[in-house]
């Protein structure tokens, strides 16, 4: 988890990093620029190590957390890892998890079984817009 200067949140947390561009809104993706600048492949999706993955669970101070700022929470490569991510999100009701995706067509199939009609109360789920 990292503190951030993004105005609408306090922290970012990346259960995984890396993502492929899927829309015109990805044109200026900062994650791609950042990883390419370090000579890394931004398209390769990599899970965080176990300690980093679970870090928000051990942080008991409530935080707003922009989730997967360096990827897309609903990317296909993370389908197996997302089960554990949902578990951590559910078991940390003191945090607010802000999830933005450019893969809205995958949301429904990737929600946890106990999501229900209203979802988890500590999750903000949004779809980011497209740009020309």
The yes or no reply on residue 78 touching ligand SF4 (CB under 6 A) is no
Give 19 or 99: the residue with its C-beta nearer to ligand SF4: 19
Q: 86-101 burial, b for 16+ CB within 10 Å, e for fewer?
A: bebbeebeebbbbbbb
The yes or no reply on residue 44 touching ligand SF4 (CB under 6 A) is no
The yes or no reply on residue 125 touching ligand SF4 (CB under 6 A) is no
CA angle 75, 58, 74 (to 5 degrees): 10
User: What torsion do the CA atoms of 55, 60, 62, 63 make, to the nearest 10 degrees?
Assistant: -20
Residue 58's alpha-carbon distances to 1, 6, 86, in angstroms, are 11, 23, 15
Pick from 53, 102, 110, 125: which binds ligand SF4 (CB under 6 A)? 102
**What binding mask, one character per residue, do residues 8-27 give for ligand SF4 by CB under 6 A, x or -?**
-----------x-xx---x-
Distance of closest approach, residue 47 Cβ to ligand SF4, in angstroms: 15
Q: Residue numbers of the site for ligand SF4 (CB under 6 A)?
A: 19, 21-22, 26, 29, 31-32, 71-72, 102
């Amino acid at each position: 988890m990292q503190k951030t200067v993004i105005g609408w949140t306090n922290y970012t947390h990346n259960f995984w990093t890396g993502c492929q561009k899927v829309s015109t809104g990805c044109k200026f993706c900062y994650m791609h620029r950042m990883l390419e600048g370090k000579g890394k492949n931004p398209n390769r999706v990599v899970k965080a190590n176990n300690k980093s993955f679970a870090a928000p669970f051990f942080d008991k101070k409530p935080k707003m957390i922009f989730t997967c700022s360096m990827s897309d929470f609903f990317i296909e490569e993370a389908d197996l890892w997302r089960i554990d991510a949902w578990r951590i999100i559910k078991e940390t009701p003191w945090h607010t998890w802000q999830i933005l995706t450019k893969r809205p067509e995958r949301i429904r199939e990737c929600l946890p079984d106990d999501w229900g009609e209203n979802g988890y109360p500590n999750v903000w789920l949004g779809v980011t817009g497209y740009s020309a």
